[in-house]
Structure 1
Amino acid sequence: MSHDAAGNVDVLSEADASRLHEARKRILDQLGKVIVGQEHVIDEILICLFSRGHVMLEGVPGLAKTLMISTLAKTLDLSFSRIQFTPDLMPADVTGTEIIEEDRATGHREFRFMQGPLFANVVLADEINRTPPKTQAALLEAMQERQVTVGRNRHELGNPFFVLATQNPIEQEGTYPLPEAQQDRFMFKVFVEYPSFDEEFEVARRTTGTQTSVVEPVLTAEEILRLQQLVRQVPISDHVVRYVLSLVRQTRVGSEGVPDFVNELVGWGAGPRAVQFLILGGKARALLKGRFHVQVEDIQALANAVLRHRMVVNFAAESDGITSDDVIQRIIAATPTTEDELSRDARFQKIFAS
């Protein structure tokens, strides 16, 4: 890590930048011993991890979401906890609770906090939409403030702290859809797709024999914290920041310069947190790809994962089978990528002036 003239640690060196790129390769090598394919999912999870964000994974049962997350925790040498969300799960089952403990020698009694499964570096919130809103809300403070409040006491969570939640998109009966405030805490919403034929062939071959694989840790908690600091040092040009703002502000229905198709198809759009997460994600992606600056390509690659759960299409769009991903891609197609085009376009002059 290099220093500027005043001695501050804020200059990203080539050696520092290459560390995250090399870390990605080592993590993929270890995960490849257990997980077949899903490289784009793993990349987006790593981007969130190194950006200090959280991930929502959505996919049908049997796509190894839980296995992927638990194996990742092993490769990162982090403590791992799985919470199976059910309709009868209470907030204290997640955060922990205070119990009365008696000293047998003196007879003195006092409250002692017993930590819940939330006190781990990597927390898997499995089928998070199966538990009532009261329990879902127990995660809000933890994800945002990295602490929990029980009674009158606050308890700091571990560092790093990374929540990965899963949802099953095909079962709606007996579920409690996450409110918008809860969804906004997740940096990415990632779709886990079916494997290709070759990938599924390899899965079948590996999992029906006697082969076992040992995953070795490649990064410690301290190394992850250092890499998270490196991500924030990645430079980003004003042009790319304006491009991010252009994308996000075009999702806001009724605002100046918003395309007609957005006003026709979208119920509401993304807030400022989407801008922050797109920039941080772009910085992490650049380093993971071995580059030392953010490009428009990085923002475009992450736009769906950041925006799909922060903007909601209206009933008319749903009835026509139009998803938020479709609208996001149309916004990207309608947005110039160069600084000159953005500055000359009258529609974007209105967006920047509003």
Structure 2
Amino acid sequence: MNGLERITEFKLPMGVLSADIHADKTQIVCGCMDGVYLANISDKSFERITQHESYVSSVALVDESTVLSAGYDGAVQWSGLSAGHLHTEKLHSFWSWDMAISPDKKTAASVTGQYLAGGYRYEPAPEREPSVVVFSVGTREVLFQLPHVPSVQAVALSPDGRFVAAGNIMGEIRVWDVQSGMQAATWTTSEFTSWGIIKSHCYLGGVFALEFTPDGEELLLAGMGQMRDPMAGNGKQLWQKWKWNQPEPKMTDQTHKGENGEGLMETLAIHPSGEFFVMGGRLRGGSWNLAAFELASGKRTATLKTGYRITEARFFDEGRQLLVVGTQGQPGPKKDGAFSSFGRVEVYKVI
């Protein structure tokens, strides 16, 4: 991948936090601050098809007519693209930070947790509810409720759907076997977590995105590097790659020196070829907030500056196109009470 060429762009009324692409390569579903939208990237039309009681944090198409969504209300919803809301399951008392679905669309997982100080050192308090919930998409049955240390902000399912991985604010990764519920691996990487020396005396950051490599042997992690003042948001744009399925998980690569700027990275997407991946998020300092990297070598090959916070990137059309969504600020109401549209949708040709 040598670059990206923008094909189309349009706005949605509210910020976009997640998106998925329909099999027809024209329709997309977007999880927004005010509900789930069905949009058309050809004619730029859109409609809201359902709502949660709070922000929609994640969406995933189950089939050509049904979308699964998770939100800050702690609930997961099944909705029809035409019929609207079908069913709701309350999985968490706190919000769902992230949700992932297996490639065969049979299993999904949602993660939750609120970071509260557990002692005078401000270490996270123990979870008040299971931080990871694995459930059947078809039967809606909860398969496993798994323990972690809150807040748990990222989740991924392996290509074969057998393993689920979850990462938290402290950079701790846990992997479980979905068939048995047994823990398969655990380790901690401290590079994503900051302790506030200036202003904020607490922990901030952590792992915000996870993806298994196509062979399932390694995990990609994304977030932001350490800062002295966590409120500044100026940690380095950071990814790491870990060989997880061995007695002692080992980091095999990370953002190369001189190839990062500053800002929180929130999304990862691996190209269908398995040759490269993209990472995107916010720009605090530097020249890009989305970049492509060779999966084998870790070398950065292309960069993009969008001018808005990227919340999700997804390849589609057999990897020939890249969907990028996000939010540009959060404007206040105008004189007439209406808000300016601040959700962003873009499609790029992969060069």
Bin the TM-score by the shorter chain. Answer: under 0.3
TM-score of the aligned structures, taking structure 1 as reference length: 0.25
Greater Cα radius of gyration, structure 1 or 2:
1
**Which is strand-richer, 1 or 2?**
2
- With a CA cutoff of 8 Å and minimum separation of 6, indicate the structure with the bigger relative contact order: 1
Normalised by the length of structure 2, the TM-score is 0.25
